[in-house]
């Protein structure tokens, strides 16, 4: 956008705006997991807490998060990222037993763990 160019609100802009409002004001629906399908876990950590999402076929099964304990606040970043993965695996082990599972984290050093 530039000062000299007039902004025109088109029908496409209106449709996009209405869709955005709809998605922001409705709660996402959780799905019941299938025992025949694999799972995907996305995990992340900060210096305040751990968070993770369990998904199946691109749809959310459940979310989880927790605050860090006092001693965990001193952990280096790679340990916190690994703690988020362990938190997810322990919490959702009843879903994951015998199932294929992919884990995604944004911390590159965890990529090389065996």
> β-strands 101-105, 39-45: how paired?
parallel
Residue 89 C-beta-side C-alpha neighbours within 13 Å: 13
pLDDT given for residue 112 in this prediction: 67
Task: Return the CATH class of domain 29-105.
Answer: alpha beta
Partners of residue 102 on adjacent β-strands? 40
- pLDDT, one tens digit per residue, over 1-46 is 577 788 889 999 999 999 999 888 887 789 999 989 999 999 999 9
Is the per-residue pLDDT at 113 higher than 80?
no
The enclosing H or E element of 94 equals: helix 93-96
Q: What pLDDT is recorded for position 106? A: 87
Q: Which residue has the tokens 């990529």?
A: 111
**Per-residue pLDDT at 29:** 83
Q: Where are the domains of the chain?
A: 29-105
Average pLDDT over residues 44-65: 96
Instruction: Give phi and psi for 57, each to the nearest 5.
Output: 55, 40
């Amino acid at each position: 956008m530039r000062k000299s160019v007039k902004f025109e609100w088109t029908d496409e802009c209106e449709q996009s705006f209405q869709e955005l409002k709809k998605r922001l004001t409705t709660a996402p629906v959780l799905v019941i997991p299938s025992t025949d399908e694999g799972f995907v876990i996305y995990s992340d950590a900060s210096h305040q807490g751990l968070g993770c999402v369990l998904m199946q076929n691109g749809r959310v099964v459940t979310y989880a998060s927790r605050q860090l304990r006092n001693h965990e606040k001193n952990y280096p970043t790679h340990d916190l990222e690994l703690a988020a993965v362990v938190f997810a695996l322990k919490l959702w082990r009843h879903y994951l037993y015998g199932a294929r599972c992919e884990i995604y984290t944004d911390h590159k050093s965890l990529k090389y763990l065996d």
